[in-house]
Structure 1
Amino acid sequence: MPFPDELAHGLRVGDYDPRWPQEFCSVAACVGEALGTLARRVDHVGSTSVPDLPAKDCIDVQVQVERLDDDAIVVAFDAIGFRLRPEPWNRTEVTDGRSWPKLVFAPPAGERAANVHVRPAGSASARRNLLFRDFLCADAGARAAWGEFKRRLAQTASDVYEYGRIKQPATEVLMIAAEDWARRTGWPDPSPPGCREPVAGSVPG
């Protein structure tokens, strides 16, 4: 659920912005410095990580940590003004039939719109988000179809809540195709830490 200051952004899916990779790097550098050795890797995920894919202007950052230690992680984010999202759906998610814990943080009010998703290192939920990114980067047809679906949904959904509710089951269908692609291509758990421009960057922990 957006904080009050985030509601001003409204609901709009626009063209891919070539500035997004660099804006991710700025957020990732801030987060990586704050977390230090708590962060195993920091990746650009979500629609803004896929060149040519229309998206909402909100950078999604995934941080993988060895242990989801609420206190240490929250303290580190609090020190840089990032706010913990309190909703139950921002604390756990189901992937491959298993519930995985997570934490999601928003930047300080007035800063660049972003969501920082903190997940256990090597978890199925972390893998899923990297697969989403790499599949859409690789498959132009799926990328075009997904972008058009999101544009149409943003035009008809009453607000960001309805947008997310309708998009979720469609994402599950997309991920069936992504898993098939992963099997056919031998897609590995993605590239090791290091910069992978323009698709993604990583900040080694």
Structure 2
Amino acid sequence: MHKDSSPDVVVVAPDPGWTVQAEAVAEELYDLLRPLALHVEHIGSTAVPGMAAKPVLDLQVSVRALEEVEGAFTRPLAERGFVLAPYRHDHVPAGSDDDPARWTKRLWIRQGHQGLDVNLHVRRAGSPNERLALLFRDWLRAHPEAVPAYARFKQVLAQAVPDLATYADVKDPVVDLVVAVAEPWARTTGWRPSTTMTARPATHRR
């Protein structure tokens, strides 16, 4: 396969500073979007210690209803450089017969802003895709021995594919395999989705 000299997908070595940046952005967005935003979480590979990743922060905002937040979030997010993307559904894991309508979301993207680019995934609280994002992160955090292999896979994949869409399509089945292992772990350990920021009354704003 021909590879362009400047590929669309770049996976870089882990940076401990990602966590600090993500926490700062998450706190800013939580204060901006509450009380509709119930939780804001750092998810994805940059949330896993020692994981190579695209230098893009993935954050997840949990809400009660997607329909009510799209209009409410668009203007304040636009003022901070976020653009609403057309993607409204997450990948349903292979082998699942779940209704794809339960895997809906809203996605805002910020690029070329101060600091790292940000993907802001807004998902319904209690939905399977909200849960999967946290399970995937927490399983990898609990199994650091699995991190190097997954990181290496992503690095090789980034060099082999021509664009981000292909990268995501190839990566999804591998994520499905991780989830297939993570689900028994969740049942055995009693894992439950945990959140670091919970909606507080608006009168408690700083």
User: Could you state the TM-score of these two structures normalised by the residue count of structure 1?
Assistant: 0.83
Separation in 2, partners of 1:203, 1:189: 13
Gaps of 5+ in 2: 1-5, 201-206
Q: Note if contact 1:91-1:104 (Cα within 8 Å) is conserved in structure 2.
A: yes
- 1:92 matched to 2:89? The reply is yes
Within a 5 Å distance, the mapping from 1:11-90 to structure 2 comes to 11-68=9-66, 69=68, 70-86=70-86, 90=87
Separation in 1, partners of 2:16, 2:42: 14
- 1:105 matched to 2:88? The reply is no
Deviation of 1:125 after TM superposition, in Å, equals 0.8
Separation in 1, partners of 2:11, 2:134: 21
Q: Note if contact 2:81-2:113 (Cα within 8 Å) is conserved in structure 1.
A: no
User: What is the Cα-based RMSD across aligned positions, in Å?
Assistant: 1.9
Within a 5 Å distance, the mapping from 1:111-150 to structure 2 comes to 111=114, 112-150=116-154
Residue 155 of structure 1 is matched in structure 2 by: 159
Deviation of 1:121 after TM superposition, in Å, equals 1.0
Separation in 2, partners of 1:175, 1:48: 18
User: Could you state the TM-score of these two structures normalised by the residue count of structure 2?
Assistant: 0.82
Deviation of 1:180 after TM superposition, in Å, equals 1.7
Give the fraction of aligned pairs with identical amino acids, expressed as a percent: 35
Q: Note if contact 2:136-2:179 (Cα within 8 Å) is conserved in structure 1.
A: yes
Separation in 2, partners of 1:159, 1:110: 22
Letter aligned with residue 110 of structure 2 = P
- 1:176 matched to 2:177? The reply is no
Deviation of 1:109 after TM superposition, in Å, equals 3.8
* Structure 1 stretches of at least 4 aligned residues deviating more than 6 Å after TM superposition: none
Q: Secondary structure at the match of 1:38?
A: coil
Separation in 2, partners of 1:181, 1:151: 26
Letter aligned with residue 167 of structure 1 = K
Q: What are the superposed Cα offsets for residues 37-82 of structure 1, whole Å, 9 maximum, x if unpaired?
A: 1110000000000001111100000000111122112233224331
Gaps of 5+ in 1: 1-7, 194-201
For the pair shown, the structure with the greater C-alpha radius of gyration is 2
Q: Note if contact 1:43-1:203 (Cα within 8 Å) is conserved in structure 2.
A: no
